A and B are shown apart, each in its own frame.
Chain A
Amino acid sequence: MSSLRAAYINEIYKLSKRKKLMVSCVLSVAAVLVAALIVGVANNFMGIRITGESEFSILVLSVLNYTLIPLFTIFICIDMVGGEFSNQTMKMVLTRPVSRIKVYLSKAMAAATFIIVNLLFIMVTSLIISLFIKGTLAGIGRIFIAYVASFFPLFVFALFTMIISTVFRGTGSAFFLSILCFLLCNVLGLFFSQLQSFLFTTAFNWYTLFLGSYINFHKIFRMFMILAGLGLMFFGIGSYLFDRKNL
């Protein structure tokens, strides 16, 4: 376990030293501010009511969940796997007394940490803005649950991106293929409703299942099991490919 811990600390340390992390934080804040501006203008000058008292944070989540957060997740995952293969720094880790499965697991854990921090950052920023707009933090429990639920499909997507990044040596090709897969899954979900259960992108808005007045636990459980299955499958495939990869 100490080698896994060391590998995880190293991944987090590297992540904290990258400019990408700072850029993702700044862009997240900027996106939330732009959303607040649009909502403010629509409410005050156009007479259109876009959100209720507690829904600004949910509105921000519903927009960023399909745009900036997956994009940053792709950046980080490709940087951690494909990037390290292409600039050869992966050798520095793989020639230490730590098995490849632990190295891969540490990278998945670091990706999970990044997603949690990113979601937390967006949630706190949007709550602060809600407080300024409405002067209240109504529905904070529901908002928290929605953000927690959003973590799972994003993490499954991160594991999927890590597979692509393990297969392709070039970071550019891995990046574009990840974006393409993300868009393709969304489009397939729109046109073929029977496929929706198997596409992880469909689950990006599953947090809405927690928000209604009636909570369908059966549906939540089914969706959770699908996400868990996909996550395990992606981790299994990714770690196998990572283990077999020759440098």
Chain B
Amino acid sequence: MDKAIVIEHLSKRYKNNRGIDDICLEVDKGDIFGFLGPNGAGKTTAMKIMTGLMQPDHGDVRIGGFSILEDYEKAMQQVGCIIESVAPVPYLTAEENMKMCARFYRNIDDKQIDWCLESTGLLPYKKEKTRNYSLGMKQRMGLAMAMVSDPEILILDEPLNGLDVEGMVEMRNLILRLAKERGTTFFISSHLIHDVELTCNKIGILYEGKLLDVRSTEDILKEYASLENYYLSEVDLSVKS
């Protein structure tokens, strides 16, 4: 199967000795990959490197076959992302923010922008300045901006942060719809294990900077009662060893 994302021996160590250590991972096209781990495990670090916001100490990431270190523009042409908090330009409206993002791609018209805003429930507020948006609305805005180019791959770091229950369900349904209808590949980090179980078809567990295991959700649920049980047993094994 074609690989959407290939992570090769990725390492990054901070001064406090935390970070990620020799991560190797492959995500197939069309997968919804869930990156699970506690706070401080290194999920955001890995995702920042994947999107070029941070330089790795070692290793590389290939997106759609292009190296993020050598062919950044080509690699990012097919990627949309939310990394950590979403920060649209506060003194611009949602529509203006979307147009700024759209300028980096070809053939993105107002229809596409409206579709993204409608999908995330922001169309009625598109003329409002984003400084007036709530945390949940900013998170939706982040997803709309990530979707603007109709990318093949969406890298989402804690996409459900700040959303209410209704918003979480809508976001989950949107992810599933995009994967099904458009074949979008997702790489999602979260510590909300229940949502990962409901959304992702493949899971990777990151603990203290190390990738413990990668398995399909189907296989995990055959063996364990829930994803939570699997996660706890993997972490427990890691602590013991």
Contacts and interface: CB of A to CB of B under 8 A. Distances in A.
Interface string A228-247: 00000000000000001011
Interface stretch (B33-41, B75-83, B176-184, B188-196): B75-83
Contacts of B79: 95
Nearest to B142: A92
Interface in B96-114: 96-97, 100-101, 103-106
B215 interface: no
Contacts of B85: 88
Interface stretch (B52-60, B199-207, B218-226, B227-235): B52-60
Contact of B104 (A6, A14, A18): A6
B53 A89 contact: no
A94 B103 contact: no
Nearest to B83: A91
A64 interface: no
A244 B96 CA distance: 29
A247 B105 contact: no
Given A3-B104, A98-B73, A92 B53 contact: no
B209 interface: no
Interface stretch (B3-11, B87-95, B161-169): B87-95
B76 A92 contact: no
A214 B241 CA distance: 84
A247 B54 contact: yes
Given A247-B48, A247-B54, A17 B92 contact: yes
Contacts, number: 71
Nearest to A13: B100
A212 interface: no
Interface residues of A, number: 25
B74 interface: yes
A94 B156 CA distance: 15
Contact of B91 (A18, A99, A244, A246): A18
Nearest to B129: A17
A186 interface: no
Nearest to B54: A246
Interface string A15-27: 0011000000000
15 contacts: A9-B103, A10-B100, A14-B92, A17-B91, A18-B91, A87-B87, A87-B90, A89-B89, A92-B87, A92-B100, A92-B101, A95-B81, A96-B104, A246-B53, A246-B54
Interface of B: 48, 51-55, 72-74, 76-77, 79, 81, 83-85, 87-92, 96-97, 100-101, 103-106, 145
